[in-house]
Structure 1
């Protein structure tokens, strides 16, 4: 589990001076990385020590990204890539801070120093201080200062209990130094997959002075004024909150909770300090008295069952039950929603602190069902938190109204972390709408389990905008002693995904694909009029290479057929000039298990060949990958013309959800080091609703064959279960199922 850096501590006085993604305050110069995470510059000796340690578990991806920015190197949000670039730079002889960054640091230092002097000159005078309220609060250093609550005008005057003074807390740590914490409860194992770059739930948190109490939330009739947490945002907060009620004991040791929202550094936008919590304690014990006697706010974190008569009446085929998940992150609130006709992420710049029949405004980003992507800050809505987990809300999109209730018997921790929602929010950003997934990387290791932390190398990026967006589904094949890299990609100028097509790169004739230099070879799309679709759509994804002895070489893939069904197609492949002939449909999603979807229709996709003895199969995936029912099926080649559907016998599902693993599809096969075993590598997610995105992880299990040579894929094993590794590995005999 990666430790969470402390970020920037709270300070009084002048706000940070910032420009161009850098900031200066109190003697420290910071670079802003992904998610508005700011880090000071590590010295060259510190970088060498970090890299020489052989581990980066104590540093998140955005720390490495920030160091690249500090030293004027090309940034990367991918941890392994950023670390490799730093390693190359440290091993060189000319690593230094560029002149333009040094000049910017001096400029911001001068600007901040001047602002700090002005702030001291205009400090509160004794006469002004005597007008402050008699209550006082201790600062983090233990000294007392006067606290002046912010005024608010509620509709009904609430009766509030007077909070007692909080105990003094330790002074905040210096930037990028962890604050000592009380011993935490033992951390349980993470459920597979790659580590998230955002704050981890068990990460140590730097505690600042007690936050002041939020005034009662009133309706924001003009919507929100900002566009949400853009990575480049630098708008300063214009107000400070007033005093919080007395803090009760925290559950969970060092976690910041809903009753202790983390204080922000003065002048930084909400979200800029790496403090968050996925735990949701009940809100402070306000004693609001309202005419309508609303129930207490209760827990916010968790899943909600949602209904909308607007959606049901206009789009009855989408069903009547929808989903919403809310997650607290300090003073902010994030939400992931799916209303059938639209789905996406909502963001509240200020979470509610008490129940109210007045709406709390949010901005949202998302995608219309079979339509465009919505990004920026123009999309708005509001939710009324009526207490007891009951909510009512409205989207500006089509004027859709909805209502719902928090699912009972949940814990205090949300099922989706705020950091995951923030990453999904960023995926809807204008700059990334069409250009996500823009490079391919190969990871190598001597063992299967070692791939989780193996050596990595970026082998392909593309400057051609007609094919450098949404680069998916890579496969490596060894053909005529040369390595080839099959993949799908889309046009960066168009919304996903009609422009996506299957393509191939050419590598080298060396002993392994890792060390090859790759070049673009071909787009594998047949001429117009032979694409299998009445609209002549060139859409094609998930291409693979199939060779049938005595028959020839083929390209198998997923296309949209004449019935607008996403189906499995096959075409003859000429590996001399790398062209293909007409597409022929060999499987449509005509089985019940292939017809689970969330609005995009039934699916057959991701064909991949399996060879054993004299038999050949195509494994493929059925149903929409965003559902839990995404599963593997088989097409058995029975010896006829491979271009005819009658030559392929369908069966399935042969691998489907089990043991907490959902959406078990899109697979490939590989052999053990000694060549005696065949293993199946496939996607899965722990999200019981299914997910095509970042919550997926890779699993691998051995395929066995019975006496009739029929393959048995078994069932997905629980994450953390230990299996015998592939035969021929030189290591102890037990390995975990996930990578």
Structure 2
């Protein structure tokens, strides 16, 4: 999988050659092709015995496909499915031009990020030091390194230098048979256990080996008693040292740790997520600001009607109304999606009316303001673009014009020719 981050703008994303839309709160859906939708609906319209293996889609999937193809979105699953199926049967299902341009822009941005990521990974691999190849005979080199690590005193004891007992043994063993070294003695005649005595405190002074003794001395040597043999066996037997366990003190502490649970280290405390903050009254006015647009005389007024929100806006040369089907309840957070709304407007400078399924938007509510996006706004060059805006709440005394309510906004909505 490609590690490049997706290129995003507003609620749309482009990642790994696919175009996505994010439906609040965190539902990402790819735009299905017309053939995929045709196969899906044909499979869904089979008999009940054949549809056991067909997996139905959630409501936010239908909403995402409606937005992908420029149709009027809805949260009702049945209505969304019929609207999408009707456009598919009539052959009117096509990607809007503004979404196609947005997809091309996000595609170029994502490909640029992918090339930069590939270049960084390539430079990183070239900067890493290369490991030297392992020698062929690793075992021989390892033994030689261990021999070099031995101290000179141990080497001299092994060679028999400055060791009278071992030197005499080597001299007497020179006439023996076996594998011979530089000192011309047989390793088979050399008994290390007889030349050295190992104790717990270290290696004692070497004693004369059996090779230095004469034949007469061996014959005159008394047989070893049972007690001496037992001592020899006992001296060669390895006894593991006793482990010193930590003592328990009166406070109940063992080895620096206390038995008392209150003295043990406490696990990190987990804090619950902060509760959502409820919104104040939605009946308010806002001063709108947007980059690249003259917002000197722009504004937004919102009025609550049951569970819906109506409003009037003025943005540059466009004046119109908005309709939000579901009112917001809590203050929006950084990762929360916006509340969807529909907008209708009139451009008095161009003498044209904006009304259709492509006139959509979303808005997020904060404690002292709002921010959102008007989708598919027509610019001076007759090109559609997404207009981002932010609004700051103003007091009632700063409002201009006659006071309006939701009833007035509803009438303006019907006057523009769109009926609910």
TM-score (norm 2): 0.31
Which structure has the highest strand share of the two? Answer: 1
Structure whose CA Rg is larger: 2
